[in-house]
Structure 1
């Protein structure tokens, strides 16, 4: 029951942030959306910061699982592995309205809250590590690090622009631009 309740509250948090923003996502509003008492939310998460942290851990876990699944399914060549990482970052689970707005709230709050900052650092390092490992299979280590930094910045920039556009995320355009970058970098080595 505990895990079911936690999942229900995380879902309610995502949708409350989507509808009301982070400021409107109080323990009471999340509890109301989940049709439970505020005391139960406090019991599971402590306070609003704990609720946001748990919600972001859920979103980050989903991203990590999607990335792992796509990388395992991809062909063994660097281009396919890199494209798998990109595709996971633009998966529907990461670019739907509630998750996008929660990511934006998380990024903003991570500048002020050490535990959220730590989660953001872990996510940034994981992305860079995956990209660097795959670029390293085709480039020198310094070139792979530069290419990984560039692709990570491109992923974040495309994602941020898409999130702020005020219209449905154009996944195909984002993928096309990121894939073009991969092709340019890998084709330039030859």
Structure 2
């Protein structure tokens, strides 16, 4: 997947069509990422092709090539949007509050971050093929692996910082980075169990379990 889209186009004899000009560039880019996400969700990594994405988005090869230099680059953006969009928004908001010294109780910040993991956008059976495809690709794709490491570390770091803030305010000694890692692993495991068999637990029970692993060390958050 490291070949550029333009090279793929040349090899297949594809011709570039005129680029659309009605939508703002950022909106066009988002549209392509959404179309690529749908292709991956329906067909796995085998369905993540230039032709399929162009058909799904109703665009030309030339347009998709203008915004993404390779399928790897587009796949990374799908990963960011699918798994970390809301989390990154939370991280940026938390950093802004700290920089501006906004008096937001650390318990509220931590509780909101915990809840975000169980929002229907993420904790959804419809995401099973999408997430499994991305996780499998991370193991062998260096570009996606690097993006995963960056995003995961940023997420785990923010979660650990929120955990430490609550623990510190309450005079508790907690290994925040380890607790953050364990929480993330718990969420992934609960989501997978629920996707495979919905009788095992409910999303509400999964959220409760997420709170419990944190609360066991920092105290009540709800």
Tell me how far apart the structure 2 counterparts of residues 172 and 22 of structure 1 sit (CA, whole Å).
31
CA contact (8 A) 1:14 1:99 kept: no
Tell me how far apart the structure 2 counterparts of residues 40 and 164 of structure 1 sit (CA, whole Å).
38
RMSD: 3.0
Tell me how far apart the structure 2 counterparts of residues 111 and 105 of structure 1 sit (CA, whole Å).
10
Task: Give the alignment partner of residue 185 of structure 2, picking from 153, 166, 187.
Answer: 153
The answer to whether the aligner puts 1:30 opposite 2:63 as a matched pair is no
Task: Give the alignment partner of residue 131 of structure 1, picking from 150, 154, 159.
Answer: 159
How many equivalent pairs are there?
185
Is there any run of 5+ residues in structure 1 with no aligned partner, and where? none
Judging changes above 3 Å, is the alpha-carbon distance between structure 1 residues 29 and 180 closer, same or farther for their aligned structure 2 residues? Answer: same
Displacement of 1:76 after TM fit? 1.0
* TM-score normalised according to structure 1 size: 0.79
* TM-score normalised according to structure 2 size: 0.69
Judging changes above 3 Å, is the alpha-carbon distance between structure 1 residues 63 and 128 closer, same or farther for their aligned structure 2 residues? Answer: closer
Kindly provide the CA deviation profile for residues 83-121 of structure 1, in whole angstroms up to 9, marking residues without a partner as x: 211212222332345655333222211111222111111
1:163-182 correspondence to structure 2 within 5 Å: 163-165=195-197, 170-182=202-214
* Aligned residue in 1 for 2:118: 90
Structure with bigger gyration radius:
2
* Aligned residue in 2 for 1:48: 71
* Aligned residue in 2 for 1:65: 89
